[in-house]
Structures are given as C-alpha cells and as structure tokens.
Amino acid sequence: MRVKICGITKPEQGAAIADLGATALGFICVPTSPRYVTDLQILRVVQALEAMPVDRIGVFANTTIEIICQTVEVGRLTGVQLHGGESLEFCDRLRQALPEVEILKAIRVKAATDLSKARDYLPVVDTLLLDAYHPGLLGGTGQTLDWNLLKQFNPGCPWLLAGGLTPENIQGAIAQVKPPGIDLSSGVERSPGDKDLAKVAELFFKLQLTGSYLPQSA
C-alpha cells in the first residue's frame, strides 16, 4: 500500500516519517495554506532524506505551469498534485511540460457524480486522489468523505484515499474502501505543519494489523 503523509514542513520530521515507513511525502505549495512551504524549504527537507526511497510530491492549486515547473526543479520533486479546479487541458499541458514527473489530480467528493468526473482525468494524469468536499477549504480539513460512495470505485489507475484519515479510523477505512493508497495530513499532526511522530508510528502499527501494509524492510 502506498502511504503519503502530506503537509511536511520540517526536515527532521520528513526524514523521521520516511524512516517510519511513508512511501511519499507531500509539500503544500499553496501560499494561503498554514502548511505552505517554499521551494527552498522543500529542498531542505529533501536534502535531509539522504536518498531514502520516498516520493516527493508538491501540492498546488490553481497556479501556473511555470510556477509548478520551477518548484519541481528547485525542490527536486518527483510528483505534482493538483488540488484546485485544474482542467483536463491544463493537466495535459503540464504532462507535456513535465513528462518524467508523476501527475496526481485531487477530486473533492461530495456525491457519486464527482467519481465520474474523476474518471475524466484518466487520460491526462497518473494518479487520482479522493478528498472530502468542503465549501471553503481545498484540503487538510479533517473531514472524511462518504466511504459508501467508494465501494465500487475502480478507476483503472492508482488512487489514494484522503480526507480525515487518522490512526483511529484507518482500519475501518481500509476494511470498507480497500484503497490502494492513503493520504494523511491533519490526522497525524499536533498543529498545521507540525507532525506528531507518535501518531505516525501508531498509524503504521495499525496499517500492519490490517495486513494491507508491510514494513519496507520486510
């Protein structure tokens, strides 16, 4: 199972979370977010990883391809997550600009029709991320989406379940939804951008109990 911990701001926490077992780290590149980091701050975290085999994904919303490309280059990112209202055409142009970089598209799920919208992006992205809908916030809300909507969701590409996941509810989420990957942010934090390493460790312990995740050293 792919496990992405998002909203990383501190080099020592990023390295510790990768060491605990995260397969991807997410960096919020949206200036209005309390978890926002600059490209140079991302680079400092990446340098602290010491070549650990972990994906490095920048999260953007409604910005320009030029800004995304600059952040990818400076921050040495391996992936770009689009969390705004990016069109299919925008995703296609970004794919052409960054052919070697993973493109993820986040879909905020309010109703079953949003899952049909998610499938529309399959030709122009590599991975989908399903997040909870909030009328005023793009992500990191701590709210879960309706897992019942996802019981038959099988888009034919890799995807991540996000939205209000915590060490306390992760076993139920996996049992009900069976996602190939998960994304957590506020569920393993003390405050926005400050991760609670004890909660992260508890998360991986709970994941091992589900049988859906094996330690990377196994």
Tell me: the pLDDT tens digits for 47-56?
999 889 999 9
**Residue 208: what residue type?**
Q
Mean pLDDT score of the chain: 92
Integer angstrom CA distances of residue 159 from 82, 178, 203:
13, 11, 19
Please check whether residue 27 is in contact with residue 72, taking contact to mean a CB–CB distance below 8 angstroms.
Answer: no
Confidence label for 114 from pLDDT (cuts 50, 70 and 90): confident
| For the chain, domain boundaries | 2-210
What share of the chain in percent tops pLDDT 90? 78
> Would residue 131 show up in a list of annotated catalytic residues for this protein?
yes
3-class DSSP assignment, residue 60:
strand
Can you give the pTM of this predicted structure? 0.92
Decide: 118 and 104 in contact? Cβ < 8 Å.
Answer: no
Catalytic residue among 29, 91, 131, 183: 131
Give dist(CA 173, CA 133) in Å, integer.
17
- Decide if pLDDT at 141 tops 60: no
Top pLDDT among 178 and 142 is at 178
**CATH architecture of the domain covering 2-210:** Alpha-Beta Barrel (3.20)
Angle at 63 between CA 90 and CA 55, to 5 degrees: 80
Mark whether 6 is an active-site residue: yes
> Which of helix, strand or coil describes residue 131?
strand
What pLDDT shows up at residue 10? Answer: 98
- Cβ atoms within 10 A of the Cβ of 56, count? 24
Give mean pLDDT, residues 63-83. 98
Cα–Cα dist 11/127, whole Å: 26
Query: Is the predicted pLDDT of residue 181 greater than 90, yes or no?
Result: yes
CA 41 to chain centre: 18
| Helix axes of 65-75 and 39-48: crossing angle, nearest 10 degrees | 30
Q: Which listed residue (6, 29, 39, 183) is catalytic? A: 6
Longest dimension (CA), the chain: 43
Rounded Cα gap, residues 116 and 155, in angstroms: 9
